[in-house]
Structure 1
Amino acid sequence: MTLSTYTKEFKYNLRLATPVMLGMLGHTLVSFVDNVMVGQLGTAELAAVSLGNSFIFIAMSLGIGFSTAITPLVAEADAADNFTRGKSVFKHGLFLCTVLGIILFLLLLLAKPLMYILDQPEEVVVLARPYLDLVAFSLVPLIIFQAFKQFSDGLSLTKYPMYATLLANIINVIANYLLIFGKLGFPEMGIVGAAVGTLISRVVMLFFLWWLLAKRKRSQRYVIQIKLFELSKKPIKKIIHLGLPSAMQMFFEVGIFTAAIWLSGTLGKNAQAANQIALNLSSMTFMVAMGLSVAATVRVGNQKGLKDFVNLKRIAESIFFMGFIFAVLFALCFVVFNTFLPTLYLDENDISNAIDAQDVINIAATLLLASAVFQISDSLQVIALGALRGLQDVKIPTLITFVSYWLIGFPVSFYFGKEDLYGSMGIWLGLLAGLSAAAILLIIRFNYLSKRLILQ
């Protein structure tokens, strides 16, 4: 195949993926705004948000990962023009996501004592506990939102979740400004104000997306008159069959980044704050790859429904190629601006925190160089996961992610992340090793399955 065979798909790939990218980026921007505003309060507050969010990320990965099962099933039903099956998938997925959101909220409340067991700085833990309570509760509307989002993506209506997320970001910025710093007569709540802003924005985001989908003729009949408690075993089993491994895939990946936060905490609050800055910046570029991953799931799911396996492989490879190009561009940005980007998070003019702030900036600048290196592997592994999800292949990829992140990546982070070796950089070397292993193995898996489908 010639290069144009792949590049001619770029326009449609981008049209499908861009709203998802912007929507996912919106989720990350909520965290970015929290970090930038909280960073003005001091490095301990920034480290507290990092610690609290480390628990949130684990729960969120399970919820978001589980909800991704809805997209390929809806896409396949849509390609087959089967409304009844599509609505059944959505209804059962919505029910399961609602239950899962409530369970994850309760588990987070029970997990708070782990902050002390993990040998984190005392002042950071004291600040993180009340922050965690409110952000944990915001998971309930967030994961219900994910059910609507994944359904919308499956119908290729990717712009509506983007609109909802952009509105949520505007609300979050305003609420943060008012509640963190106590402006316009509102109480000065510090990092708890950031948590309140996150909760409010996620509730609004959920109801706004439902309203948008209820207005659109194509999606209206799916999202109104939902008989949520009239359930059947078969679709529940199908969604769990796909959703549980997908949740574990995301859990294994997010888990190693969470472990990096906890390992950084053992190095002190400055190392933990620097890790949070590098992680937040990396997660924003990762959302571009996530958008392409959703595009891969939808397009591969559609081609699977049409049983056009030659074009299925070609289209997926065109998305891999796009992901590679974006990753190289982001890597160059991190290399060029590695010393500037961390300064966005901290108040360098705060004399009382000047030494700590400079230390955090120096560490974060070094970590961004490591992040630049793994942009390519991080992008390719998540796009490959999306393509495999479109094929409804989830069990082997789950095993691959476990081996890559926890048998390869984490041991490297744990060993080289000690203070007497490479410290924070050693932790991120483990992330690089895990992501690279996952990218290679997942692409091999997709290549094997797609060729087998073509030859059958």
Structure 2
Amino acid sequence: MDKITEMAATSRNLATRKGGSQLAGELSETAKLALPMVLTQVGQIAMMTTDVAFIGHIGAEALAGTALASRIYLGSFTAGLGLLASIAPLTAQAFGAGNLAVVRRSLCTGLWLAMLVSLPIIAFALHGEQMLLVLGQAPVTARLAQRYLFGLVWGVAPALCFQVIRISMGAVNRPEPVLWITAAAIPVNAVLVYVLINGKLGVPRLELFGAGLATSLVNCGMFFSSLWFVRVRRPFRDYHLFTNTLSFDWPLMRQLIIVGGPISIASLIGFGATSAAALLAGLVSTTALAAHQIALQVAVILFLISFGISMATAVRVGHAIGRDDGFAVKRAGLTALLLGVATIAVLALAVTVVRFEIAKLFIADSAGNTEATIGLAAKLLLIAAVFSISDAAQSIAAGGLRGLKDTRVPLLLAGVSHGLIGFCLGYVLGLKLSLGVIGVWIGLSTGTAVYAVLLIVRFLKLANMLVRKR
């Protein structure tokens, strides 16, 4: 209970400040919470980039296969994470209200949910090649994608369970252990990927299967490390978070699904738009697909950074809701938007400056069509830089709405923005007007920008309603 008392005291101190000092205080608290979350995302980015860089040196076809495998795997994994995202507002609101019992129940129920969700994700990934062939992808590329998926599936359940613990730690203002675990995993992942892909230290050369298997082994290690922190280290040990672990809380499970279901579907729609873009790029050419994967990798890196701030936003807004403080809700959301968009804008500018160098990192000199792939990737990186700014805005605004447990309307807005606008425009510009993968990215960017504006308007409307109730 000491941590809850400390957090409540901090919140009261913020509430007594006026004007600019309140904004400065909120910015400080948001940055303090967001920094470990963002650095954790950076650590995950380092591991993802290591994987892609090693795979890129196998060849352009292997990179294209990885792009398709990522769409299959991450699509279903994203849907699972959407369900688990509901743990954050429930835990944060309970923590803000000083209700430690709900904090405990949310963690245990979330772990049950993670294990259940992992089953369809595994089944989905094991049939990736067949789905890719139905979607018109080249047999060679589809076969390479399936090799990668065969290695990835072993780490689905531990990866989801790790995310549950990560969300719970962040919701109680203690995201640092996850950062330490991720930092330790980076060199381990690099060694495993190198050894298993290239067949070193007496291990057979496994190439794409080895890359996926390395990721699975790292996911297992990260989960067990986080489990140790929750059970052994303070303050988590004092919270007794695993009390009645084996009891199945059906009412809370139902609440998690009701709140998380729309998040899951909305995330799947957004992910589906980028997945559809990869499929459209694959229909253009292998070179277009490889260039698309490079640009998408950079866009994902920038998104994961903004997503760290989005997670902090959901927690800050949830804490304010738990305290019944409408002014703090609005202040938390707007401060996070300012922090996130400014951060991503600076990084996006850096990407435009070094876009050719970035493209060269992912393609081996001996790979076919090297110059064409690098040139096309550099053009896509220009669009991706602009795309990432609006993507940051929508991610952080969505985080604020999750903190309010408002998930159904954002789902509707996602369908309109990503489906009706983003995908349709990308299809017309890319394939009908012969702009190729550049047209596809223009469509994606337009849909994301519309979604960002709609979510910000929605958050401001709900926050203003809470302010007027006071």
Q: TM-score range by the shorter chain?
A: over 0.9
1:413 partner letter:
G
CA deviation digits over 1:145-174, x for unaligned, max 9?
A: 111111111111111122222222222100
CA deviation digits over 1:412-454, x for unaligned, max 9?
A: 1111111861101111011101110110000000000000111
1:178 to 174, 195, 211: 195
2:359 matched residue in structure 1: 342
The structural deviation recorded for 1:7 is 4.1
The structural deviation recorded for 1:129 is 1.2
CA distance in structure 1 between the partners assigned to 2:141 and 2:97 by the alignment:
53
1:277 matched residue in structure 2: 294
CA deviation digits over 1:23-64, x for unaligned, max 9?
A: 223333322111100111110011111111110110121111
CA distance in structure 2 between the partners assigned to 1:65 and 1:4 by the alignment:
35
2:337 matched residue in structure 1: 320
CA deviation digits over 1:354-382, x for unaligned, max 9?
A: x5121111111011000111222111100
2:428 to 415, 422, 437: 415
1:443 matched residue in structure 2: 456
The structural deviation recorded for 1:221 is 4.9
Q: Which runs of 5+ in 2 are unaligned?
A: 1-17
1:427 matched residue in structure 2: 440
Q: Is 2:30 aligned against 1:17?
A: no
Identity, % of aligned pairs?
29
Matches within 5 A, 1:288-303: 288-303=305-320
Matches within 5 A, 1:42-441: 42-221=59-238, 225-348=242-365, 350=366, 353=367, 355-418=368-431, 421-441=434-454
When normalised by structure 1's length, the TM-score is 0.95
**Structure 1 stretch displaced more, 232-241 or 295-304:** 232-241
1:31 matched residue in structure 2: 48
CA distance in structure 2 between the partners assigned to 1:425 and 1:388 by the alignment:
32
Asked if the contact 1:121–1:268 (Cα under 8 Å) also holds between the matched residues in 2, the reply is: no
**Structure 1 stretch displaced more, 108-117 or 197-206:** 108-117
The structural deviation recorded for 1:124 is 1.1
The structural deviation recorded for 1:215 is 2.4
SS at match of 1:38: helix
1:267 partner letter:
V
**Structure 1 stretch displaced more, 217-226 or 86-95:** 217-226
SS at match of 2:288: helix
SS at match of 1:332: helix
**Count of paired positions:** 452
Asked if the contact 1:95–1:228 (Cα under 8 Å) also holds between the matched residues in 2, the reply is: no
CA distance in structure 1 between the partners assigned to 2:175 and 2:62 by the alignment:
35
Asked if the contact 1:167–1:205 (Cα under 8 Å) also holds between the matched residues in 2, the reply is: no
Asked if the contact 1:101–1:144 (Cα under 8 Å) also holds between the matched residues in 2, the reply is: no
CA distance in structure 2 between the partners assigned to 1:303 and 1:219 by the alignment:
22
CA distance in structure 2 between the partners assigned to 1:4 and 1:374 by the alignment:
33
Asked if the contact 1:58–1:255 (Cα under 8 Å) also holds between the matched residues in 2, the reply is: yes
CA distance in structure 2 between the partners assigned to 1:247 and 1:200 by the alignment:
26
Asked if the contact 2:348–2:388 (Cα under 8 Å) also holds between the matched residues in 1, the reply is: yes
Asked if the contact 1:10–1:318 (Cα under 8 Å) also holds between the matched residues in 2, the reply is: yes
Distance 1:222 1:170, change over 3 A: farther
**Structure 1 stretch displaced more, 64-73 or 224-233:** 224-233
CA distance in structure 1 between the partners assigned to 2:387 and 2:310 by the alignment:
17
Distance 1:366 1:223, change over 3 A: farther
2:404 partner letter:
L
Asked if the contact 1:330–1:375 (Cα under 8 Å) also holds between the matched residues in 2, the reply is: no
When normalised by structure 2's length, the TM-score is 0.92
The structural deviation recorded for 1:216 is 2.4
The structural deviation recorded for 1:189 is 1.2
2:7 matched residue in structure 1: none
The structural deviation recorded for 1:232 is 2.9
Q: Which runs of 5+ in 1 are unaligned?
A: none
CA deviation digits over 1:163-215, x for unaligned, max 9?
A: 22222222210001111112232211111111111011000010011112222
SS at match of 1:209: helix
